[in-house]
Amino acid sequence: MTAKHDTIRAVSWEEAGLRLLDQRLLPRQEHYLVLNDSAAVAEAIRSMVVRGAPAIGVAAAYGAVLAARERYAALPADWRTGFEADLGFLQQARPTAVNLAWAVARMKACAAGVTGDPVPVLLAEARAIHDEDIRANLLMGERGAAFISPGNAVLTHCNTGSLATGGYGTALGVIRSAWAAGKLSGVFADETRPWLQGARLTAWELVRDNIPVTLLVDGAAAHLMQQGKVQWVIVGSDRIAANGDVANKIGTYSAAVLARHHGVKFMVVAPASTVDMAISTGASIPIEAREPQEVLELGGQPVAAPGASAWNPAFDITPAALVDVIVTERGVVEQPDAEKMRAMMDRQ
């Protein structure tokens, strides 16, 4: 299932297990891992072999299949006990992305009704999750692109494309759709420190799919907007609270503040599984704290003065008041608030 300017699939299933493009090695090396147990999938999620909230959810679903296959082969009569423990490890791999918990819960519910060998049933469910994500991304791409006027240029932060999803992408899916429709005059991508997802991943994706991209350091975004060179900032999300507050890669909040000051529109694109109606505001979203070495080093080489410490939150919270539109496969919410978010999530 592909569309124009859409050739990359970083997550896929094959008979031997889950096949993942190791995103830590891009763009220098395109290397795939084949994982055949759920513990390896959990570690791949934790260590960012696979990243991006929707892709993490898809990978976790396939990880549940591997857990069931391993447990059923070892102890067919009592496979559920170890299986549920494995699901717990998968869910704990990264705390902020709600898609992970959502996918694990869906696979657990599917397993509850299984009799006999659970693998065929769970594999069908994992494939359904994967296919649903791609279809949702294609729909969101169309809906988001409808807001973009011909001749607009866009800025994106982090990576929200095929590498971060089951395929096509969320925010990058909108960019793909708008580019295919001939609407965009340019695409700008923040580096996205400290993991450089924009430089390593977004730029790689867009170049691979023949969409011209201009890279800038995160701190240059304000000057770019001041020069009037972009009309939209388009980002994804790892979790959206019930009131429309958005958790996304660190630096997203900065981009939203800058956009509002300069009259640039701000769009968030994410599947409905990213919306956590159990969390009233962004203040309750857990923010993952990652190792200081990610800031103090680059590629394993020290870049900071010896003895310096580092603060390394992986995400920040953008208040709903700074968001012009949230795009999901269930619908679009402009100027989001709790009432509008509830109405959107109630749609079937």
Active site residues: 238
Residue 262 class from Cβ within 10 Å (0-12 exposed, 13-18 middle, 19+ buried)?
A: middle
Task: Report yes or no: 248 and 268 within 8 Å, Cβ to Cβ.
Answer: yes
Give the DSSP H or E segment for 276: strand 275-276
Contact 35, 90 (CB under 8 A): no
Which residues, in sequence order, are CB contacts of 50 under 8 Å at separation 6+?
A: 10, 11, 20, 21, 23, 44, 56, 59
The token duo for 317 is 């919270």
Neighbours of 330 (CB within 10 A): 18
Angle at alpha carbon of residue 249, lines to 322 and 170, rounded to 5°? 80
CA distances in angstroms from 83 to 15, 20, 75, 119, 130, listed in the order given? 20, 22, 11, 12, 21
* Long-range CB contact pairs, 18-26, < 8 A, 24+: 18/59, 18/62, 18/63, 18/66, 20/44, 20/49, 20/50, 20/59, 21/50, 21/163, 22/49, 23/48, 23/49, 23/50, 23/51, 23/163, 23/200, 23/201, 24/48, 24/49, 26/163, 26/200, 26/201, 26/204
**How far apart (Å, rounded) are the C-alpha atoms in residues 228 and 78?**
63
Residue-wise over 164-199: b if at least 16 C-beta within 10 A, else e?
A: bbbbbbbbbbbbbbbbbeebbeebbbbbbbbbbbbb
* Cα distance between residue 223 and residue 122, in whole Å: 50
